[in-house]
């Protein structure tokens, strides 16, 4: 049996931010992670947060009254709008950023030029409402970096993460601008130097920086992260949660937590039964692909339900949707590539299997998939094709295919890419 103050189940941004905050407030904290590495889906994510009125925006002179983003949320959410909850979020979000900046290794870069997703919604902003984890030096984690989940390989260059924003623009323009070439050459050289010295890149970016910065401070405050430790069930005594049972290499262990248990297991992208019940486009539970962490099998939801909690069934959509493609890997496994950036570039169209365009390809990923769901005839697989010409793919890349000078051949050979000299020939190739 293990005794602690707070047991945090899972090690994505949700769990780690709870853990480092509790440790800062003086609690003994144990984090239990099912996977062999900590970081969850967050380690693969863009690491961007929508936090209006955040300190970085304010420092840049972007000052807005709480009523403005509140109005944006009211218009976005319609009859789902819960004013008390939205107000609480908008009040506490900036305080959270301030807290992490002051008390943890996690720092931020601003999104002051990044507009809201729905620019036509009243009180949308052209910038100043987002921020992202700043690049983080992995050396600060010491030996603990060995257990940090690396970024999703297909979204990197040879395993090297590329920070979104200005850095990504340099990589896209490396063959067109001398300044970008120099920038990229410097980053690539530093990456290979790290590989030689440490066996991996040490400059962590995006979501990977988020789940490196939080634990760096958590470890300093004595937080233990137990990997390979799936929580199996909550312990309840006299109507109160008093801990949980964790699995592990040496068998089950009971953890007693005097101040509570935080469930942060990351939703249900790999829970077939839940998908069947909650996602109309996945009637057998198998028609929905996700770029999230495969350990996210809805355990937290089940543990909560087992002691009387219930899910809110009134949501407009039970999943945050994004288009993914299935990338065959050399070892026979399949990666799920999230199409977040390149489909918005000029020169690409998205069509259904019937060859019909169904959306503005530059819309947000959620809207893109909603458009796809609406356009695909009932009973047909929910899928679409991204179509572009050679100039486009060499300029911007396409999914897991990188822009020039990276080669295309392997992705043509393994069927990820289809090629045709005419639209008709391409359609035949696509079946």
Does residue 41 interact with ligand FAD by CB under 6 A? Answer: yes
Specify the stretch interacting with ligand FAD by CB under 6 A; choose among 261-269, 278-286, 355-363, 369-377. Answer: 261-269
Radius of gyration of the chain (CA): 23
In whole angstroms, give the CA distance from residue 314 to residue 297. Answer: 21
Does residue 20 interact with ligand FAD by CB under 6 A? Answer: no
Cβ of residue 136: shortest distance to ligand FAD, in angstroms?
16
Cβ of residue 426: shortest distance to ligand FAD, in angstroms?
27
End-to-end CA distance of the chain: 58
Cβ of residue 7: shortest distance to ligand FAD, in angstroms?
10
**Cis, peptide link before residue 312, omega less than 30° from 0:** no
Q: Which of 6, 7, 8, 9 binds ligand FAD (CB under 6 A)?
A: 9
Positions in 173-212 near ligand FAD (CB under 6 A): 207
Does residue 44 interact with ligand FAD by CB under 6 A? Answer: yes
Does residue 35 interact with ligand FAD by CB under 6 A? Answer: yes
The CA distances from residue 310 to 58, 114, 301, 306, 315, in Å, are 39, 36, 8, 9, 13
Q: How many residues bind ligand FAD (CB under 6 A)?
A: 33
Q: Which of 20, 23, 29, 33 binds ligand FAD (CB under 6 A)?
A: 33
Does residue 230 interact with ligand FAD by CB under 6 A? Answer: yes
In whole angstroms, give the CA distance from residue 276 to residue 187. Answer: 44
In whole angstroms, give the CA distance from residue 18 to residue 6. Answer: 9
CB 274 within 8 A of CB 16: no
Does residue 243 interact with ligand FAD by CB under 6 A? Answer: no
The CA distances from residue 18 to 47, 113, 264, 302, in Å, are 17, 29, 9, 20
Does residue 292 interact with ligand FAD by CB under 6 A? Answer: yes
Cβ of residue 294: shortest distance to ligand FAD, in angstroms?
8
Q: Which residue, chain included where needed, has tokens 């942060």?
A: 264
Within 118-177, where are the H helices?
A: 166-172
Cβ of residue 292: shortest distance to ligand FAD, in angstroms?
5
- Backbone φ, ψ for residue 133 (5° rounding): -60, 135
Sites of contact with ligand FAD (CB under 6 A): 9-15, 32-35, 40-42, 44-49, 207, 230-231, 264-266, 291-293, 295-296, 299, 338
């Amino acid at each position: 049996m293990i005794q602690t103050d707070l047991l945090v189940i899972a090690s994505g941004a949700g769990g780690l931010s709870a853990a480092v905050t509790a440790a800062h407030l003086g609690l003994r904290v144990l984090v239990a992670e099912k996977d062999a590495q900590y970081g969850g889906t967050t380690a693969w994510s863009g690491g961007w947060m929508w936090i209006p009125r955040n300190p970085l925006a304010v420092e840049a002179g972007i000052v807005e009254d709480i009523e403005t983003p509140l109005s944006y949320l009211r218009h976005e959410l319609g009859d789902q709008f819960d004013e008390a909850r939205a107000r609480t979020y908008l009040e506490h979000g900036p305080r959270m950023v301030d807290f992490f900046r002051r008390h943890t290794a996690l720092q931020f870069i601003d999104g002051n030029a990044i507009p809201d997703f729905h620019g036509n919604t009243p009180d949308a902003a052209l910038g100043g409402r987002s921020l992202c984890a700043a690049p983080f030096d992995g050396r600060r984690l010491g030996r603990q970096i060995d257990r940090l989940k690396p970024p999703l390989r297909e979204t990197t260059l040879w395993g090297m993460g590329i920070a979104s924003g200005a850095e990504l623009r340099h990589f896209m323009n490396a063959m067109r601008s001398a300044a970008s070439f120099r920038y990229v050459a410097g980053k690539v050289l530093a990456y290979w130097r790290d590989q030689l010295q440490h066996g991996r890149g040490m400059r962590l970016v995006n979501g990977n920086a988020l789940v490196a910065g939080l634990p760096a401070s958590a470890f300093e405050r004595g937080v233990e992260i137990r990997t390979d430790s799936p929580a199996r069930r909550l312990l309840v005594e006299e109507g109160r949660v008093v801990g949980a049972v964790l699995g592990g290499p040496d068998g089950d262990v009971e953890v007693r937590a005097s101040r509570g248990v935080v469930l942060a297991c990351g939703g249900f992208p790999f829970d077939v039964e839940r998908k069947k019940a909650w996602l109309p486009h996945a009637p057998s539970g198998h028609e929905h692909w996700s770029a999230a962490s495969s350990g996210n099998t809805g355990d937290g939801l089940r543990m909560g339900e087992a002691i009387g909690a219930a899910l809110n069934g009134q949501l407009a959509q039970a999943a945050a949707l994004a288009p993914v493609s299935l990338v065959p890997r050399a070892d026979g496994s399949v990666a799920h590539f999230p199409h977040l950036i390149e489909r918005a570039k000029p020169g690409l169209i998205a069509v259904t299997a019937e060859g019909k365009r169904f959306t503005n390809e530059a819309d947000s990923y959620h809207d893109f998939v909603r458009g796809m769901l609406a356009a695909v005839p009932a009973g047909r697989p929910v899928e679409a094709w991204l179509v572009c010409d050679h100039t486009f793919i060499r300029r911007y890349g396409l999914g897991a295919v990188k822009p020039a000078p990276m080669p295309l051949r392997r992705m043509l050979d393994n069927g990820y890419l289809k090629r045709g000299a005419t639209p008709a020939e391409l359609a035949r190739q696509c079946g």
